[in-house]
């Protein structure tokens, strides 16, 4: 049975809020994604690797780089403690150069694509990365509108690549998470539905349970 698990996604531009969200996440999980935005590739900004380096945590984590020139940030994120970086195909002048640079830093590597990007664009790089991330929203902010048509792309991609790790990111809520899990994704990154809930630990456990159950139904 292929599992589908929820990974909390932390997005903020405020270092003080970052500390609070990390403390919340430490109550209910051991792995998170930090969303990094530069105000150029997407219209908003968020925390930097300097902020993460100053925010000690027991959590293991990865960075989702919604930034131009992602290769310029890799060393900083490695030093801050990242295990993995995911960069956007659309933001990289040469995706292969970014992949190779991340490998030299000892980082696991994922490649992300926006909802409008054809999967064919990333096919040459699939054998070289650890995961592929499908954005199910237009990136840039918590609470963006979910784009369900992306799940058809995920399902087709899963048929073609049965063994690769697939993630989806954006818009996952109680009413959509089962459909996301059944599409063939392994990891569902969830931000606002956890951290804007009055009880983040309960929200996380509930969403994770729904995802796991739905993935099991798909496998059955």
Token pair for 188: 């569902």
Q: Which of 152, 169, 197, 199 is catalytic?
A: 169
Rounded-to-integer distance, Cα 198 and Cα 166, Å: 29
Q: Which of 35, 38, 51, 118 is catalytic?
A: 35
Concerning whether 197 is annotated as a catalytic residue, the answer is no
The values of phi and psi at residue 36, to 5°, are -115, 120
Angle between helical axes of 15-25 and 200-219 (0-180°, round to 10): 60
* Contact in structure between 186 and 219 (CB atoms under 8 Å): no
Burial class (CB in 10 A: 0-12, 13-18, 19+), 94: exposed
| Alpha-carbon distance values, 62 to 10, 149, 198 (Å) | 10, 26, 25
Residue 66 forms beta bridges with which residues?
A: 37
Concerning whether 169 is annotated as a catalytic residue, the answer is yes
Burial class (CB in 10 A: 0-12, 13-18, 19+), 212: middle
Q: Which sequence positions are flagged as catalytic?
A: 35, 169
């Amino acid at each position: 049975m292929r599992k589908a698990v929820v990974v909390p996604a932390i997005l903020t531009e405020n270092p003080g809020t970052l500390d609070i969200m990390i403390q919340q996440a430490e109550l209910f999980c051991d792995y998170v994604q930090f969303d990094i935005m530069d105000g150029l590739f997407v219209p908003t900004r968020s925390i930097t690797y300097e902020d993460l380096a100053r925010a000690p945590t027991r959590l293991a984590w990865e960075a989702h780089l919604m930034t131009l020139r992602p290769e310029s940030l890799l060393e900083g994120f490695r030093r801050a403690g990242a295990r993995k970086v995911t960069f956007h195909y659309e933001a990289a002048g040469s995706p292969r150069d970014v992949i190779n640079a991340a490998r030299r830093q000892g980082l696991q590597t994922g490649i992300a694509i926006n909802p409008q990007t054809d999967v064919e664009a990333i096919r040459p790089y699939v054998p070289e990365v650890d995961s592929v991330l499908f954005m199910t929203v237009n990136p840039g902010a918590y609470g963006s509108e979910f784009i369900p048509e992306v799940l058809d792309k995920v399902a087709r991609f899963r048929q073609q690549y049965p063994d690769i790790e697939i993630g989806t990111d954006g818009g996952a809520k109680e009413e959509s998470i089962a459909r996301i899990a059944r599409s063939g994704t392994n990891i569902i990154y969830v931000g606002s539905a956890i951290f804007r809930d009055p009880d983040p630990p309960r929200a996380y456990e509930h969403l994770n349970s729904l995802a796991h159950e739905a993935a099991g139904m798909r496998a059955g």
